Amino acid sequence: MALLSAHRQGTYRGKFTKDFPLGEKSWFRCGGKADLLFEPEDIEDLSVFLKEYPAGDPLMVLGGMANCIIRDGGIRGCVVRLGKPFAEIEIQGNRIMAGAGALNGSVAAAAAKEGIGGLEFLSGIPGTVGGALAMNAGAYGTEVKDVLAAAMALDDFGVFVPLELEDMDMSYRTCGAASRGITFVGAVFEGKEEDREIVRERLKEIKAKRQETQPISEKTGGSTFANPTDTELEKAGLEKGTRAWQLVEKVGGRGLKIGGAQMSEKHCNFMINTGDATAKDLEELGDELIRRVREECGIELHWEIKRLGER
Ligand SMILES: Cc1cc2nc3c(=O)[nH]c(=O)nc-3n(C[C@H](O)[C@H](O)[C@H](O)COP(=O)(O)OP(=O)(O)OC[C@H]3O[C@@H](n4cnc5c(N)ncnc54)[C@H](O)[C@@H]3O)c2cc1C
Q: Which backbone phi and psi does 6 adopt, to 5 degrees?
A: -60, -35
Atom of ligand 1 nearest to the CA of 138: 11
Whether pLDDT at 6 is above 90: no
Tens digit of pLDDT for each residue in 68-111? 999 999 999 999 999 999 999 999 999 999 999 999 999 999 99
217 is catalytic: no
Q: How many domains would you assign to the chain?
A: 3
Q: What is the pLDDT of residue 8?
A: 77
Model confidence band, residue 29 (pLDDT cutoffs 50, 70, 90): very high
Query: Which CATH number does the domain housing residue 239 bear?
Result: 3.90.78.10
pLDDT score, position 283? 98
Using alpha carbons only, give the angle 215, 72, 136 rounded to the nearest 5 degrees: 50
Percent of the chain past pLDDT 70, that is, above it, reads 98
Distance CA 89, CA 110 (A): 8
Looking at residue 84, its pLDDT comes to 93
Instruction: Give the structural domain span for 68.
Output: 2-81
Q: Is the pLDDT of residue 4 over 60?
A: no
Nearest to 273 by CA among 230, 212, 207, 215: 215
CATH number at residue 129: 3.30.465.10
The pLDDT, as a whole number, for residue 11 is 87
Mean pLDDT, the chain, rounded, equals 96
| Candidates 26, 47, 123, 223; catalytic one | 223
The residue among 33, 54, 81 that closes a domain is 81
Pocket test for ligand 1, best of 27, 37, 43, 67 (most atoms within 8 A of CB): 67
Amino acid 196 reads: R
Model-level pTM greater than 0.95? yes
Q: Is 269 in the pocket of ligand 1 (CB under 6 A)?
A: no
Residue 46: count of CB within 10 angstroms of its CB: 25
Q: Does the beta carbon of 27 lie inside 6 Å of ligand 1? A: yes
Which of 79-83, 171-175, 177-181, 247-251 has the weakest average pLDDT?
A: 177-181
User: What is the percent of the chain with per-residue pLDDT over 90, rounded to a whole number?
Assistant: 95
Question: Which of 189, 147, 187 is closest to 163 using CA atoms?
Answer: 187
pLDDT given at position 181: 85
Shared domain for 186 and 118, answered yes or no, is yes
- Region of 269 please: left (phi>0), alpha (psi -120 to 50) or beta: alpha
Instruction: Examine the pLDDT at 3 and tell me if it is beyond 60.
Output: no
| Residue 9: predicted pLDDT | 79
> Same domain, yes or no, for 111 and 203?
yes
Angle between the 196-213 and 104-113 helix axes, to the nearest 10 degrees?
Answer: 150
Whether residue 223 is found in the same domain as residue 183: no
Catalytic residue check, 243? no
Q: What is the per-residue pLDDT for 2?
A: 53
DSSP H/E element including 208? helix 196-213
What are the tens digits of pLDDT across the range 178-233? 988 899 999 999 999 999 999 999 999 999 999 999 999 999 999 999 999 999 99
Are 205 and 99 within one domain?
yes
Question: In whole angstroms, how far apart are CA 269 and each of 13, 113, 212?
Answer: 42, 33, 15
Task: Find the distance separating the first CA and the last CA of the chain, reported in whole Å.
Answer: 21
Write down which residue in 151, 183, 209 finishes a domain.
209
- Ligand 1 proximity of 309 Cβ (cutoff 6 Å): no
Question: Last residue of a domain, which of 81, 100, 132?
Answer: 81
Q: What is the CATH number of the domain that holds 24?
A: 3.30.43.10
Q: Is 307 in the pocket of ligand 1 (CB under 6 A)?
A: no
Q: Are residues 121 and 201 in the same domain?
A: yes
The residue among 11, 2, 77 whose CA lies nearest residue 40 is 11
Q: Are residues 112 and 164 in the same domain?
A: yes
170 lines ligand 1 (CB under 6 A): no
- Say what the pLDDT of residue 10 is: 78
Question: pLDDT tens-digit profile of 101-144?
Answer: 999 999 999 999 999 999 999 999 999 999 999 999 999 999 99
Q: Which atom of ligand 1 is nearest to the CA of 140?
A: 8
Distance in angstroms (rounded) separating the CA atoms of residues 74 and 222: 21
Position 170 pLDDT exceeds 90: yes
